[in-house]
Amino acid sequence: MKKIDSVAAFRALRSGLNGQSVGFVPTMGALHIGHASLIDESVRCSDVTVLSIYINPTQFDNANDLAKYPETLAEDLELAEKLGVDYVFMPTYQQMYPDNFSYQVEETKLSHQLCGAHREGHFTGVLTVVMKLLNIVKPDRAYFGEKDYQQFELIKGMVEALFVDVEIVGCPTVRENDGLAFSSRNLNLNVNERKLAPKLHAALVSGLSDEEVTLELNQLGFVVDYIETISGRRFAAAQLGKVRLIDNVLRGEHEQ
């Protein structure tokens, strides 16, 4: 496994991979089993797998959230090599934003709903960095987890709208045994919050209405941003202590 920290170096390497299929898994590090499932899928389907590790500041609407985002680089690199990653791209802000974020990719509809309604500018930062990464890596396929389903839909829509020659592959949410969706931010939950966190998924798959789920979660100690069902999928975001949890489920599939 090779580590690359400059755009120029990666582009030079990429030009030598012609004829080989390239899979790409973009991450902000703090890798967990959910990321591992994306990497496994890329390794299975591609000749070459590229992993990026870059904590993207432009997608954080809260400076404190950025400051406490977990960094586990040594463990991340060890896991990546174990899983069969060929190249790890680890750029700096200066490498990714030579324009200092003057040029941005913005979507005007879906990005202003759900998480977008509560995190101003978040998806503009996400779409901009993903577009940059896709243009640098030039993968045949890029893999994203469906836990961030709104993000997945926005990235897929961006690629289609702007004629980017890449297949965006969504992979199912990976969960703990108690139902909590794996997330890098779970590392910031204290012991009591971690015990309570699975109640979010349990409420989502119940037969309760969105309004009833909101009431139940608030009574349990969550601070709910939204519970909303769109096109048969129920989306949720709720604060637990200092950690913002998101999740989504298809309605009717698991309801009790």
Q: What is the pLDDT of residues 137-164, one digit of tens each?
A: 999 999 999 999 999 999 999 999 999 9
Query: pTM of the entire structure?
Result: 0.95
Q: Assess if residue 97 is contained within a domain.
A: yes
- Are 85 and 63 in a shared domain? yes
**What CATH number has the domain bearing residue 214?**
3.30.1300.10
Domain range enclosing 159: 2-171
Domain boundary among 171, 196, 223: 171
Per-residue confidence band for 103, with pLDDT thresholds at 50, 70 and 90 = very high
- Range 51-61 average pLDDT: 97
- Active-site option among 35, 112, 118, 201: 35
Q: How many domains does the chain have?
A: 2
The alpha carbon of 89 is separated from its chain's Cα centroid by a whole number of angstroms, namely 17
Q: C-alpha dihedral over 223, 36, 162, 56, to 10 degrees?
A: 60
> According to the model, what pLDDT value does residue 251 have?
87
Residue 127 in contact with residue 4, Cβ under 8 Å? Answer: no
- Distance between CA 90 and CA 2 in Å, rounded? 11
- Are 134 and 13 in a shared domain? yes
Domain boundary among 128, 150, 171: 171
Q: Where would I find the beta strands (DSSP E) of 102-215?
A: 141-145, 167-171
- Are 124 and 57 in a shared domain? yes
Of residues 49, 38, 44, the one with CA closest to residue 85: 49
Of residues 61, 48, 43, the one with CA closest to residue 16: 48
Domain boundary among 130, 150, 171: 171
- Are 26 and 150 in a shared domain? yes
Predicted confidence (pLDDT) per residue in 205-236, tens digit: 999 999 999 999 999 999 999 999 999 999 99
- Are 28 and 79 in a shared domain? yes
> According to the model, what pLDDT value does residue 256 have?
46
> According to the model, what pLDDT value does residue 18 have?
87
Across the chain, mean pLDDT equals: 96
Concerning whether 35 is annotated as a catalytic residue, the answer is yes
